[in-house]
Amino acid sequence: MEHQPPPFFKRGPAPVALLSFYVALSVALLVVDARLQTLEVVRQALSLFTHPVQQLAQLPLQSLANAGDYFVSVARLRDENAQLKQARLDNVTTLLRTQQLEVENERLRKLLGVKERKQASGQLAQILYAARDPYSRRIVIDKGQQDKVAAGQPVIDDVGVVGQVTRVFPFVSEVTLITDKEQAVPVQIVRTGLRSVVFGLGTGQLELRFLPANADVQNGDVLVTSGLDGIFLPGFPVARVVHIERDTSYSFARIFCMPLAGVENFSEVMILDPRPAVALPPQLANEPVGREAKPQVRKKRMKKE
């Protein structure tokens, strides 16, 4: 019979074995999450446990904000009220005319046989906090699966585009800001109608890429969504051009923009309803299948070689 150690020395698996097991598990999680993006369900399930703790951690800040609201003086509120009334009166002419113009536009579009522009609608949400991750620019808002928020919905505030919903949890959802390094928005320059794509830089600024050095872009140009992506409705302000570097040794100009919306501020935002997918004509719908098939054949040939 083999010698058995007394139970006093039984300490489970060796530390190095445990270490390699847990490291392998974490690395597997990392790779699956970074490359395959299939762990959303796991995230949602785990967030059910972390959400109450997070809510608890938000309490002190919320109670501070509430206390601040409570002590706002009546005089300031009256001032603000007067200002808002003034602003409403100022805007009322444009607003009334816009309604009439929208109806007229719709009718003219019908006459021309162009597709109607979709009306923007959505739901209000409150920004809870900015995500702690220092590598990405994301915010968390207080609407989730319970309110039928879906990943991909655009998010705007009262001035312009803020970002896009990228992850949905049961009670909250994560919005990737347009200034995030991995976020791109198809835009159009209002003055010239030039279409391009604006990319986040991760520093709070945006960059218009792949425009030739002689492109007609000026400081102060306003960019609005072009709507070509099928996600953002066309016409929402995104950014303003602040700095242009034209170096003839490069083929592209470097164009830096600042976001118009209060992207990094805490306030309320509007989650726009997703745009209905545009149905492709049958010829086009069949075509990509054929195109996809070709590279696969090529790959197989490469493998044989």
Partner 1 sequence: MQTSYYSPARILLPVRPWFIGFSLLVTLLLNFLPASPWPGLPDWLALVLVFWSVREPRRVGMGLAFLCGVAMDVADASLLGQHALAYVLVAYGGSSLSRRILWFPLGQQALQVFPLLMLVPLVQVAVRIMAGADFPGFTYFFGPFLSTLLWPVLTFLLLLPQHQPVDRDANRPL
Residues that bind partner 1 (CB under 8 A): 11, 15, 18-19, 22-23, 25-30, 32-34, 39, 42-43, 46-47, 49-50, 53-54, 56-58, 60-61, 129-136, 138, 140, 167, 174, 181, 202
Of 184, 170, 173, 244, the C-alpha closest to 214 is 244
Which residue, 234 or 262, has its beta carbon nearer to partner 1? 262
- Least Å distance, CB 35 to partner 1, is 9
- Least Å distance, CB 95 to partner 1, is 36
Which residue, 143 or 167, has its beta carbon nearer to partner 1? 167
Side chain identity, residue 36: L
Taking residue 170's Cβ as centre, other Cβ atoms within 10 Å add up to 13
Q: Residue 301's Cα: distance from chain center in Å?
A: 40
Q: From the CA atom positions of the chain, what is the Rg in Å?
A: 26
Side chain identity, residue 81: N
CB 183 within 8 A of CB 165: no
- Least Å distance, CB 153 to partner 1, is 17
- Least Å distance, CB 27 to partner 1, is 7
Of 125, 88, 78, the C-alpha closest to 268 is 125
Which residue, 30 or 72, has its beta carbon nearer to partner 1? 30
Neighbour-count burial of 233, counting CB atoms closer than 10 A to its CB (0-12 exposed, 13-18 middle, 19+ buried): buried
- Least Å distance, CB 32 to partner 1, is 8
**Structure tokens that stand for 98 in this block:** 């816009």
Which residue, 27 or 87, has its beta carbon nearer to partner 1? 27
Which residue, 82 or 130, has its beta carbon nearer to partner 1? 130
